Amino acid sequence: GDSVTQMEGPVTLSEEAFLTINCTYTATGYPSLFWYVQYPGEGLQLLLKATKADDKGSNKGFEATYRKETTSFHLEKGSVQVSDSAVYFCALSVNSGSARQLTFGSGTQLTVLP
């Protein structure tokens, strides 16, 4: 079945450091890929998405590129801030670009220290 494997945390970085959170997937068909963020005490928010190979999703300084050849969708940010501290979830959906039936990775806790 479909699955998402995400880099385990927790990850602790200093402010302005470079961030990479690895995500790889296994899916039948052609999945859409997503990164969600969960701030403390809140629900999930969509951070960015990519619906086909070589697409790059970006938002709030975060980027991720859909790499079909390596089945990966790694999340990157060049300079993290304290306010980026949250749990990040990689997810996929195989329903033709819709967000239906999301399969989530295990989540990565990020803490950014001032």
| 99 scored as a contact of another protein (CB under 8 A) | yes
Of the candidate spans 15-23, 56-64, 69-77, 94-102, the one that interacts with another protein by CB under 8 A turns out to be 94-102
Instruction: For 15-49, give one letter per residue: b (16+ CB within 10 A) or e.
Output: eeeebebbbbbebeeebbbbbbbbeeeeebeebbb
* Under rule CB under 8 A, residue 104 binds another protein: yes
Q: Could you say which residues in the range 25-44 bind another protein, by CB under 8 A? A: 32, 36, 41-44
- How far is CA 96 from its chain centroid? 19
Q: For residues 22 and 51, which CB has a smaller minimum distance to another protein in the complex?
A: 51
Q: Does 46 bind another protein (CB under 8 A)?
A: yes
- Does 97 participate in binding another protein (rule CB under 8 A)? yes
CA distances from 12 to 9, 20, 33, 86, 90 (A): 9, 12, 25, 11, 18
Least distance (Å) between residue 19 CB and another protein: 20
